[in-house]
């Protein structure tokens, strides 16, 4: 049963591949009655290569445009793009606040070894993500600092552990 909406709200998932963004986003989607935007799912539906960064950027821009329209209607929107960079997260936070929306940031911090293990088990990407690529991404990922986290609103549902084995994710 979705929780009653307390007004427009943007929920941002932040984390590297395999950190659990989609798993948690699906849980929050069903609990909050939110609209979830996943670039991977749209790319898959359009038969696009998940490594096509140009198309991914276009899809994210389209999803952000739709997100802002839905926030203006007072809805809860979840975006799960990874949001690796501080400036990208700033743009989303300020854009949502300009529409009168609350903004949550869920940072999924997972050790590199665990990420690689999960990515291998999931077996989604073709070709598979290589260990070396993951190490490079780890180095460029800008983890949110406590100072940045303080700029966001308290989550409606906090400390939720999305258990992929429960079948609800
Ligand atoms: N809390 C968790 N504990 C253990 N395994 C998890 C957890 N969350 C997700 N997983 C598993 O890890 C794998 C990756 O999770 P998920 O697809 O949600 O990550 P993601 O951040 O969306 O990755 P990507 O950026 O590649 O889309 C999945 O197989 C999922 O079942
Ligand atoms: Mg995902």
pLDDT tens, residue by residue, 81-106: 989 999 999 999 999 999 999 999 99
Q: Which atom of ligand 1 is nearest to the CA of 165?
A: 31
Q: Which two tokens stand for residue 42?
A: 């749209």
CATH number at residue 127: 3.40.50.300
* 3 in a structural domain: no
Q: Which atom of ligand 1 is nearest to the CA of 80?
A: 22
* 1 in a structural domain: no
The tally of domains found in the chain comes to: 1
Q: Tell me the CA–centroid distance for residue 154 and ligand 1, in Å.
A: 23
The parent domain of residue 59 ranges over 9-154
* 2 in a structural domain: no
Output the ligand 1 site: residues, CB below 6 A: 15, 17-23, 40, 82, 118, 121-122, 161-162, 164
pLDDT tens, residue by residue, 125-167: 889 999 999 999 999 999 999 999 999 999 999 877 666 665 4
Listed in sequence order, the residues at least 6 apart from 58 whose beta carbon sits closer than 8 Å to its beta carbon are none
SS3 label, residue 47 = coil
pLDDT tens, residue by residue, 39-83: 999 999 999 998 899 999 999 999 999 999 999 999 999 999 989
């Amino acid at each position: 049963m979705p929780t009653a909406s307390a007004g427009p709200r943007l929920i941002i998932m932040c984390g590297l591949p395999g950190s659990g963004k989609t798993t948690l986003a699906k849980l929050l989607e069903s609990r909050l009655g939110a609209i979830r935007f996943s670039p991977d799912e749209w790319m898959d539906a359009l038969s696009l290569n998940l490594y096509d960064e140009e198309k991914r950027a276009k899809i994210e821009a389209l999803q952000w445009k739709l997100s802002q329209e839905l926030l203006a209607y007072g809805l809860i929107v979840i975006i799960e793009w990874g949001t690796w960079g501080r400036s990208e997260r700033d743009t989303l936070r300020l854009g949502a606040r300009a529409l009168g929306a609350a903004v949550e940031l869920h940072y999924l911090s997972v050790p590199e070894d665990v990420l690689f293990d999960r990515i291998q088990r999931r077996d989604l990407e073709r070709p598979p993500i290589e260990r070396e690529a993951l190490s490079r991404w780890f180095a460029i990922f800008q983890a949110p600092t406590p100072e940045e986290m303080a700029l966001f609103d308290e989550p409606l549902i906090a400390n939720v552990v999305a258990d992929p084995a429960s079948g609800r994710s």
